[in-house]
Structure 1
Amino acid sequence: MTKHEEYEQKTEKLLEPVLKENHFELYDVEYVKEGGNWFLRAYIDKEGGITVDDCELVSRTLSDLLDKKDFIPDSYILEVSSPGLGRQLKRDKHFEKSIGEEIEIKLYKPIDKKKEWVGKLVSYDTNSLTIELEDQKTMTFLRSDIAIARLTFDF
């Protein structure tokens, strides 16, 4: 397990009782370095959507818990937010909830000279995703070939 995964896992455990008490769902936790800064991000959700007040409540509580446990030696920026409309799909539970929804897939390497594909998520398993394209054809992609999978949204 990498240090990123360890920090994410420990943060998830800290968040569980806070989220349960407030009827929130943990969407994802990530510990990433961007532009020379470390970020610890927690994405939370609930039926009807997350508000700024919800994020503030979880952020304050989580910040206090992280200060007490102090398991991340690096300095980092804590962010708590909603996963958003174009939420990234990473975990099985994300794919499960998105069956029948239109998703966008970005690949590391092109297939048929295309790196981006859009279609309705038909199925998934531990190794692959299958989408239905506009022409009713299906395409299956190995999860290891997918750089990003996310919900699409129209304005």
Structure 2
Amino acid sequence: MKMKKFGGTESRIYELVRPIAEEHGLIVWDVRFEKEGAMWYLRVFLDHMERPVNISDCEAVTRPLNKILDDTDPIPQTYTLEVGSAGLERELIRETHFDACEGSKVRVRMIRPMEDGSREVTGILTGFDRENVTLSVPSGDGSAEKSVTIPLSGAAYVRLADLDSDEIQRAAD
């Protein structure tokens, strides 16, 4: 897995949408300009640090963003704008994502099986650098936590892990 950086179009859109999102207490988690088949999609993913993103949040960002995009016309192609939540199991693809999620439960999916034959590791994100993620995971005998360092080059993805029902309820409150 390689750290993703904003491309030129994504960077321009990020700079346009960031002040709109911040005005509503939101964070721009990611911006993607992607081609699927013959169609282009501009996707903006939002987050909120204290509660889940809802449809009203997406509408509050979509309307002014649409106007700015129409006025400035930064993308020459025809595209569809989609604004949504980054989601509970959002992928961590930028350095800022790893920094923001330190201390959170994450799931790392490996490209190839590890020594024990497994392809996934779930644990608490305790460290990150450009080449590795470090997780605190339960030891096999259940006695204590152990630290596991995983090279990002061998990871297919790193995502926030499933939240249990108590964590979801706390996020909703």
- Which range, TM-score by smaller chain? 0.7 to 0.9
Q: 1 CA distance for matches of 2:157 and 2:76?
A: 29
Q: Which structure has the larger Rg over C-alpha atoms? A: 2
| Larger RCO: 1 or 2 (CA < 8 Å, sep 6+) | 2
Q: 1 CA distance for matches of 2:79 and 2:112?
A: 32
Q: Hey, which bits of structure 1, 4+ residues long, moved more than 4 A?
A: none
Match of residue 116 from structure 1 = 120
Residue pairs, 1:116-135, within 5 angstroms:
116-135=120-139
TM-score when normalising by structure 2: 0.78
Paired AA for residue 73 in structure 1: P
Distance 1:33 1:106, change over 3 A: farther
Contact 2:45/2:83, CA 8 A, preserved across alignment: yes
CA apart distance, 1:62:
1.1
Contact 2:10/2:31, CA 8 A, preserved across alignment: yes
Task: Specify which of 56, 60, 76 is matched with residue 59 of structure 2.
Answer: 56
Q: How many aligned positions are there?
A: 152
What is the RMSD of the two structures over their aligned residues, measured on CA atoms?
A: 1.9
CA apart distance, 1:83:
0.8
Paired AA for residue 14 in structure 1: L
- Determine what percentage of the aligned residue pairs are the same residue: 34
Contact 2:24/2:60, CA 8 A, preserved across alignment: no
Q: Name structure 2 gaps, 5 residues minimum.
A: 1-5, 140-144, 166-173
More strand by percentage: 1
